[in-house]
Amino acid sequence: MDTSGRRGGGSLITAYVADGCPHCSALLEDLERRRVSFVAVNLTREPERIAELAALTWERRLPVLVDHERCSVGFFGQSSSFTELGLAWPPHRGV
């Protein structure tokens, strides 16, 4: 399944996902089935965007769904940790 780029037009929803995450795959399939417009960000393929996600949530789990006002972690109560997916959280940068 292609998890990069834009689905639909005028998307205000971003789905942060990773390869090997069954909950991410289930979320993307559900969004596509319901014809929801979204942008998928695959952190396995674009690890530089993990910092972008870190600015939105302290959770280190996927999938994460972000719209214009909220951030939701998991899909039907299930999620995968960054460690399970082989992803590294960006180091904390003090002010």
Confidence of residue 30 (pLDDT cuts 50, 70, 90): very high
Q: Which residue has the higher pLDDT, 41 or 59?
A: 41
Q: Give the alpha-carbon dihedral of 80, 65, 88, 51, to 10 degrees.
A: -170
| Number of residues in the chain | 95
Instruction: Give me the percent of the chain exceeding a pLDDT of 90.
Output: 76
Average pLDDT score, the chain: 87
Lowest-pLDDT range of 10-14, 19-23, 29-33, 61-65: 10-14
Q: What is the pLDDT of residue 12?
A: 87
Q: Which residue has the higher pLDDT, 11 or 15?
A: 15
Give me Rg for the CA atoms of the chain: 13
Candidates 67, 59, 56, 46; CA nearest to 89 is 59
CATH class, 5-81 region: alpha beta
pTM of the model: 0.83
Q: CA–CA distance from 70 to each of 32, 61, 88, 95 (Å)?
A: 20, 16, 23, 26
Q: What is the mean pLDDT of residues 12-31?
A: 97
Q: Note the Cα 81 to chain centre separation in Å.
A: 12
Q: What is the mean pLDDT of residues 12-27?
A: 96
Give the domain ranges of the chain: 5-81
CA angle 12, 51, 93 (to 5 degrees): 140
